[in-house]
Every structure is written in C-alpha cells, then in structure tokens.
Amino acid sequence: MNKEVIIICQSMYHGNTKKIADAMGRVLHCEVISCERAKKMDLSSYACVGLGSGIYFTSHHPAIMEIAKTLQPQQAAFIFSTHGAPIQGKYHEPLKTILKKNGVSVVGEYSCRGYDCTGPYNLYHGGNKGKPNEADLRRAEKFIHKRFPQYKKTVHIPDGRHVGIESETCIGCGRCAAVCPMHVLRVEEEKCIIVKEEDCIHCKLCMEQCTEGAIAVKHTRRELIRIAKIHAKRTSLPQ
C-alpha cells in the first residue's frame, strides 16, 4: 500500500466522483477514504493528498474544504471533481484558494461530467447519463500516470504467459485469489501463486483487488479470441 499518497473523496449524490477516486486509487495503490474518516486521521504523514467531490453549487463539498484547511505547507495536493454542467467553469477555484493560502502546492486537476438529474435535467430524465464512463476513468488513470510516474508499476510477465505476479511485492493477503471466479490463483506460504493460468478469462478482478499492484494480465487480440473459444463451451462457473 502506498503510504505517501491518500485520496479523500466526498461523493454524496450518485457516487459519480467515487468512481473517479477509485480509478485513481487503483493506479496509485493508495487508500481512498471519506471525509468523515479523514477528519479522524492525522494526514500530515502523506506527501500528497488527492481531494475530490461532486460540484455542488459551483464548488467542492464543504467537508473537502474543511480537510483542505488542515493540510500543511510541505504537502502537495491534486484536485478532482465531477460536474453536471456542460462547462466546468471555475469550480475548482474555491478549493485551490484554500490550499494556496495554506502553502499547499496543487500538482494537478482533473474533472469530468457526472450523471445529474437536478433541475432542468429532469425534462429528459437526467443529463450525462452513464457518466463518468469508461473513457472518463481511463482519462483519470492517465492523469495520475502523468503526474505521478514514480508510482507506475510494470509487473514482468514471462514470454508465453498471460498472468504475472511480482512475488517481492505480493503481501499474500489472498484478496486476488478470493475474488477470482475461475480459481486461477492460490496463496501458498504467504505468497500468491498461479495454479490454473489456462482458465484465466482476463476479467482483471485480481488486478483491481491487489492493493500492491503486484499482478498484471496481458493478452494479444489473437489470445483473446482463443480465450473466448475455450470458454464458449462453459455453461456455469467452476466449482
């Protein structure tokens, strides 16, 4: 777990911003927590804090503002949000002003549209349906990769293999093995091992669950077709 960075997110409306926060957290391998939890924590040990929420009446959630006030001058922050209106405007300014006043450097900002069914959007059953979507999440991940290249992990996958585990990084928590619907992974002697790679359907749940970034899955287009053919014969999940 990355102990240098933490993400604090208040996503009170539709969970739109939480989706972005989780995507960023997966890249950074850091914790994503609520303001309620953050208030009870000492945040001074984190070199960088991500602060995000939906935009509510042209600014971030007041709880995010309160957290921002507690950050120290030696800390850095990145800001993110989801908003309903077609144009973002200066929605980040109030939060940036607080951070700058505290001497906290703002290392980047990300925002995208989020599902909104307030006011006039009700006329057509909500605006920005399906947002943030996959493309927004990929853009959020890209934003993090660009700002924080030091946390980018590349797990080596040996030639001819599709799943790779970095043994030194694996903490043997077993979350990946527990979530794998195909029982491809197992924990032995406090390390995760691959037991049935041929059954892997490349769903990537293991990667999403791994807090350490110790697992990677790769494939070519041809291999994906091969996988589809193998699994086409299945009629239920394996026992």
Ligand X SMILES: Cc1cc2nc3c(=O)[nH]c(=O)nc-3n(C[C@H](O)[C@H](O)[C@H](O)COP(=O)(O)O)c2cc1C
Closest CA to 215 of 188, 175, 183: 175
Per the CB < 8 A criterion, the answer to whether 177 and 194 are in contact is no
Q: Could you tell me which stretch among 5-13, 185-193, 197-205, 226-234 binds ligand X (CB under 6 A)?
A: 5-13
- Residues 109 to 128 in contact with ligand X, rule: CB under 6 A: 114-116, 118
Closest approach, Cβ 68 to ligand X, in A, equals 17
Distance (Å, whole) CA 222 – CA 208: 24
The count of residues interacting with ligand X (CB under 6 A) is 20
Per the CB < 8 A criterion, the answer to whether 82 and 55 are in contact is yes
Q: Could you tell me which stretch among 8-16, 97-105, 197-205, 213-221 binds ligand X (CB under 6 A)?
A: 8-16
Closest approach, Cβ 104 to ligand X, in A, equals 22
Q: Quick one: 85 or 201, whose CB is closer to ligand X?
A: 85
Interface with ligand X (CB under 6 A), residue from 2, 6, 8, 17: 17
Residue environment code for 130-165, b if the CB has 16+ CB neighbours within 10 A, otherwise e? ebbeeebbeebbebbeebbeebeeebebeeeebbbb
Closest approach, Cβ 214 to ligand X, in A, equals 30
Residue 190: is it exposed, middle or buried by C-beta count within 10 angstroms (0-12/13-18/19+)? exposed
> Per rule CB under 6 A, is residue 25 in the interface with ligand X?
no
Q: Could you tell me which stretch among 24-32, 34-42, 76-84, 165-173 binds ligand X (CB under 6 A)?
A: 76-84
Using CA atoms, how far residue 65 sits from 27, 45, 61, 141, in Å, is 25, 19, 7, 24
Interface with ligand X (CB under 6 A), residue from 30, 49, 55, 192: 55
> Per rule CB under 6 A, is residue 185 in the interface with ligand X?
no
Is-cis flag, bond preceding 132, omega within 30?
yes
> Per rule CB under 6 A, is residue 13 in the interface with ligand X?
yes
Which helix (H) or strand (E) segment holds residue 169: the answer is none
Q: Could you tell me which stretch among 9-17, 161-169, 186-194, 223-231 binds ligand X (CB under 6 A)?
A: 9-17
Q: What residue ranges bind ligand X (CB under 6 A)?
A: 11-17, 54-58, 82-85, 114-116, 118
